[in-house]
Amino acid sequence: MSNVLQTLKLSWDEVGTLIGSVITVVLKQDVTCRAALDDYNYWTVSDTAGRFSHDELDILLDYVEASREIREITFHGDSNTTVALDMGLSQALLEKETEHILGAGAHQGGWALAHRDRT
C-alpha cells in the first residue's frame, strides 16, 4: 500500500515570506525575512531589517512548542539578540504556516525547497 502525501515546492523567497508572515502574526510586529541555504544541508532565516531579542525568541519557541534541543541550539551564544534563526526553529515555523495551507499534519508530507549547487 502506498501513501500519497501533499508536498509544497517552495523557493527560498517563498520560504522567507511564509516564515515572515507567521512571525509577524506571533510577535505582532511587521517582520520581513530572508531564507537561504547556509550549507549543503543546512538553511536559516534572517530578519532583513533588525534583530530578534531573547524575549522574541522565547515567544516564537513557545508558539511552535519547541523541543529542548531546539531551545538549546537557539540560545547557543552569549548575545541577547540574533539576526538569524537556526534551521530547527525555522522548520518549526514553516510547519506551522504550511498547516494553514495544506491542513493539519502538513509536515507529514513536507516541502521541497529549492536547492542549487554552489559551483
* pTM of structure: 0.80
For cell 517582520, name the residue. 31
pLDDT value of position 117: 42
Q: What is the pLDDT along the chain (119 residues), one digit of tens a residue?
A: 566 666 778 889 999 999 999 999 999 999 999 999 888 888 889 988 888 999 999 999 999 999 999 998 888 777 788 888 989 999 999 988 887 766 655 455 455 555 444 43
pLDDT value of position 113: 54
User: Do β-strands 81-82 and 52-53 pair in parallel, antiparallel, or remain unpaired?
Assistant: antiparallel
> Where do the domains of the chain lie?
8-113
Q: Quick one: residue 28, left, alpha or beta (phi over 0 = left, psi -120 to 50 = alpha)?
A: left
Distance of CA 115 to the CA centre of its chain: 16
Check: CB of residue 34 under 8 Å from CB of residue 67: no
Backbone angles phi, psi at 76, to 5 degrees: -80, -20
